[in-house]
């Protein structure tokens, strides 16, 4: 049975409280996963985004929602790998998903469940 995931509503107070914890998590996991990809990352930001878990700019800047810390590790890893892969493939085409699947084999199931939390 898949455990139920509870993600708190976003708030400014929680954002300020958990932002650095989220940054530490994201930095550590990006360092780990980028040993596979070797992409050049410009900046990493932790934000209090309303409708997104993460984003990637064409300049190679990665943004993540601070609420990532409330997700199970497999979901965290999927989100981090997803945005990391956008550095090379700035779309959701076949090549992009092949990059994601190098590390997150079960990305389809995680992606489907993750849509329920925003």
pLDDT confidence band for 100 (50 / 70 / 90): very high
**Domain boundaries along the sequence of the chain:** 12-117
Quote the mean pLDDT of the chain. Answer: 91
- pTM for the whole structure: 0.90
pLDDT for res 45: 98
Classified by CATH at the fold level, domain 12-117 comes out as Zincin-like (3.30.2010)
Give yes or no for a contact between 56 and 86, defined as CB atoms under 8 angstroms apart.
yes
Element (H, E) at 56: strand 54-56
Bridging pattern class, strands 54-56 and 62-65: antiparallel
């Amino acid at each position: 049975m898949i455990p139920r995931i509870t993600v708190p509503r976003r708030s400014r107070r929680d954002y300020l409280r958990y932002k650095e914890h989220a940054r530490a998590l994201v930095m550590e996991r990006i360092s780990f996963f980028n040993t596979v990809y070797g992409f050049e990352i410009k900046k990493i930001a932790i934000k209090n985004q309303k409708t997104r878990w993460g984003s990637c700019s064409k300049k190679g800047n990665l943004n993540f929602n601070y609420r990532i810390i409330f997700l199970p590790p497999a979901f965290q890893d999927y989100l981090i790998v997803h945005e990391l892969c956008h550095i090379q493939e700035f779309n959701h085409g076949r090549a992009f998903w092949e990059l994601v699947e190098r590390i997150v084999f079960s990305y389809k199931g995680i992606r489907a469940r993750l849509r329920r939390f925003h």
